[in-house]
Amino acid sequence: MKAGELLAILFFILLPFLSFSQPAGGSFGDPVVNIDFGSAATGPNFTASTGYQRIYTDCPNDGNYIIATRSPNCFSSAWHILPEDHTPGDTNGYMMVVNSDPVAGKDFYRQTVTGLCPNTTYEFAAWIININKKDNLYPNVTFTIETPNGTVLKNINTGDIEKTATPEWKKYSVTFTTQPGQPDIVLAIKNNAPGGSIPGNDLALDDITFRPAGPTLNPVITGTGSNSTHLCEGDTRSLEFTTADVSTFYTSPRYQWQQSDDGINWMDIPGNSATHPAYTASFVNVPAGAYYYRMLVAETANFNSPSCRVASDPISVTVDPPPVIAAETLPVCEGSTLQLNLEATGFFKWTGPNGWTSTEQKPAIPHIQLNQAGTYSVTINNGLCTYNRTTKVTVNPLPHADAGQDIMLCEGESTTLNASGGIMYQWSPATGLSDPNTQNPVAKPLTTTTYTVLVTSASGCQASAKVTLKVSPKIEVNAGDDQITVQKHPVYLKGTVNRNSDYYIVWEPSDFLDNPHSLTPIATPLHDITYTLKAFTSDGCPMNEDQVFIRVYQSLEIPNTFSPNGDGINDTWNIAALNTYPHSVLTVYNRYGNVAFRSVGYPDAWDGKNGGKDLPAGIYYYTIDLKERNEKTISGWVVILR
């Protein structure tokens, strides 16, 4: 193998490692060329030449490209979906999406860049993303920077840009120097890997920039070694800014200091374009805020062209505002916590009424009283400045909340509550109230309830009061079950009520009762009677009553003889009180067991006949079934005399 062939092989093997480079540390100017392929405001912008074909559908095939605001879901989801381009803050901005040609080495982007400065060092940068997420056919891109006549100034090769699980933009950059007398260059971008029939070797390109590059300037504030400091509002100070010596980089450097209030938009400071890098800034009663300074440098011959200037990192001067107390007049309510709020850093010394002191930034005074109202002062020292601030504290008295006297209600009754002492009222619980947010709601609770009213004064202070509505439940009374007894036999009444106290009772009528004021009196009635048990509450709520019926059966007197001979004396068998048993059955038998007489209820006394014929004198036997609960059948004999 010839030596030339060996060198060529080594060159292509080592090319990805030798030609890819990050720019050395240093300072840079503002971008003089910024190719972002268009924005939402301007629309797509593509002015380069290319060996590929542009299409206007979502998914370009091999050898085609699109200028798009997003990367669509193409080729059976083989591509990452990019919802936006790379440019920060550029909503609906554009990028170049490329599906590589099957033939490797074609330029898919070639652009002549004008307006650079001759014999000046620049940083070139671009952002690329491998949009394929499935296959292992990776983009491999070479950026070539050359003169218009083809002289290569710098190559940068990305190597294989491997796939990633999620979309991942990568920046590639390199520095180069334009030739003397030649301000223009040509940027060519080609893909060293071929496309194919399967998805792969597909990429998106965005944000191609060129900006001047120079030595590290390292601006500092003289005497501090730092590029930032703080001042106090109202200070009068002078600060000198200096940078590193750049004479070894520039033959004839020229400087210009600039000022900004946001670190983005810069303005030249008049009278400070010179051959000396130092600048003195004067601060006289400058308002609080951030102030930024930076230095531009370029060769004197090129200085008037912004494309040639390199900018330092900014120096920041922060003018701190004075501390702020939350309020110059601070009203609080008696008994609450006074919180003094101070936005500041440093050391604090508070003083207040009655000898009160504190060294806290935001001290709190719990349970503040009326005699603690007055002026509170604080001295703040933050190491740079000393400030004095005051706030006047007003302690408002609590309202005299009153909810009225406790009230007794009968079940089902309502009453009007009466609160006083403020301008707003809120009752709780709301159960049983017509409106919990009024001064005088109507209350109709079902059970005894204690209501609390929160009273708010005109100054916003609050106090509460309580009132209890005692609800007397309806008295329930039961006189017991109806009963049956026999004349002169006592029965026990069984009355009940639904409470243990705060009531009294009476039975009416009181006839035949041993104690009409007992729930369980003894009754010995001589006849049927209905008793009414009346129950009264001691709190004056409505009474209630219930009734019980006592069925009283009379005692039977059964004579054992009668003489039905028509003399008008003892002609019938008169059984006293049997007719008070309307369902009773009297059966009389002769001595042979035959029924001689039968009667239900015994409405008429027996006259000694059967079927209208007189029965012979003699002894007859009888049974009496009273047909009453707990009463036994009565039996005996009776003699008919003739």
Total domains, the chain = 6
Last residue of one domain, picked from the residues 320, 346, 370: 320
Q: How far is CA 439 from CA 400, 402, 419, 455, in A?
A: 14, 11, 6, 9
Contacts of 205 (CB under 8 A, 6+ apart): 95, 96, 98, 109, 126, 127, 128, 189
* Same domain, residue pair 276 and 360: no
**3-state DSSP assignment of residue 41:** coil
Burial (CB count <10 Å: 0-12, 13-18, 19+), residue 95: buried
* Same domain, residue pair 208 and 265: no
328 in a structural domain: yes
pLDDT of 20: 39
pLDDT of 276: 83
CA atoms within a 13 Å half-sphere pointing along the CA-CB vector of 553:
19
Q: Give me the CATH number covering residue 228.
A: 2.60.40.10
Per-residue tokens: 47: 């002015």
239 in a structural domain: yes
Strand duo 364-365 + 374-381: pairing: unpaired
CA angle 488, 491, 495 (to 5 degrees): 150
Whole-structure pTM value:
0.52
DSSP at 433? B
pLDDT of 198: 64
* Same domain, residue pair 548 and 589: no
422 in a structural domain: yes
* Same domain, residue pair 314 and 373: no
Per residue in 196-254, pLDDT (tens digit) is 666 778 999 999 999 999 999 999 999 999 999 999 888 889 999 999 888 888 888 99
* Same domain, residue pair 27 and 141: yes
d(CA 267, CA 623): 138
CA atoms within a 13 Å half-sphere pointing along the CA-CB vector of 3:
0
DSSP at 301? G
Identity of the amino acid at 145: I
* Same domain, residue pair 172 and 83: yes
* Same domain, residue pair 45 and 178: yes
d(CA 322, CA 318): 12
d(CA 218, CA 315): 9
pLDDT of 25: 57
d(CA 313, CA 315): 7
Last residue of one domain, picked from the residues 293, 320, 347: 320
599 in a structural domain: yes
Contacts of 200 (CB under 8 A, 6+ apart): 78, 132, 135, 136, 137, 138
Contact 187, 50 (CB under 8 A): no
Strand duo 95-99 + 202-214: pairing: antiparallel
> Does 86 score more than 60 pLDDT?
yes
Per residue in 278-293, pLDDT (tens digit) is 999 999 988 999 999 9
pLDDT of 579: 85
7 in a structural domain: no
13 in a structural domain: no
Strands (E), 165-314: 170-177, 185-191, 202-214, 220-221, 228-232, 236-242, 253-260, 267-274, 279-284, 289-299, 310-311
Per residue in 377-433, pLDDT (tens digit) is 999 998 888 889 999 999 999 999 999 999 999 999 999 999 999 999 999 999 999
> Does 355 score more than 90 pLDDT?
yes
> Does 6 score more than 60 pLDDT?
no
Length of the chain measured in residues: 642
Burial (CB count <10 Å: 0-12, 13-18, 19+), residue 418: middle
What's the whole-number mean pLDDT along residues 352-365?
95
d(CA 623, CA 482): 28
pLDDT of 535: 96
> Is-cis flag, bond preceding 314, omega within 30?
no
> Does 600 score more than 70 pLDDT?
yes
**3-state DSSP assignment of residue 578:** helix
**Per-residue H/E/C for 204-232:** EEEEEEEEEEECCCCCEECCCCECEEEEE
* Same domain, residue pair 482 and 455: no
Last residue of one domain, picked from the residues 553, 588, 604: 553
* Same domain, residue pair 100 and 159: yes
**3-state DSSP assignment of residue 50:** coil
* Same domain, residue pair 159 and 64: yes
433 lies in which domain range? Answer: 407-472
What's the whole-number mean pLDDT along residues 322-343?
86
Q: Give me the CATH number covering residue 633.
A: 2.60.40
Element (H, E) at 3: helix 3-19
11 in a structural domain: no
d(CA 109, CA 344): 56
Per-residue tokens: 614: 């007189």
Per residue in 538-581, pLDDT (tens digit) is 888 999 999 999 988 888 889 999 999 989 899 999 998 888 88
10 in a structural domain: no
Of 10, 14, 22, 11, which is closest to residue 159 (Cα–Cα)? Answer: 14
CA angle 407, 465, 409 (to 5 degrees): 15
DSSP at 9? H
* Same domain, residue pair 52 and 201: yes
Contacts of 282 (CB under 8 A, 6+ apart): 237, 238
Q: Name 472's bridge partners.
A: 410
pLDDT of 197: 64
* Same domain, residue pair 301 and 253: yes
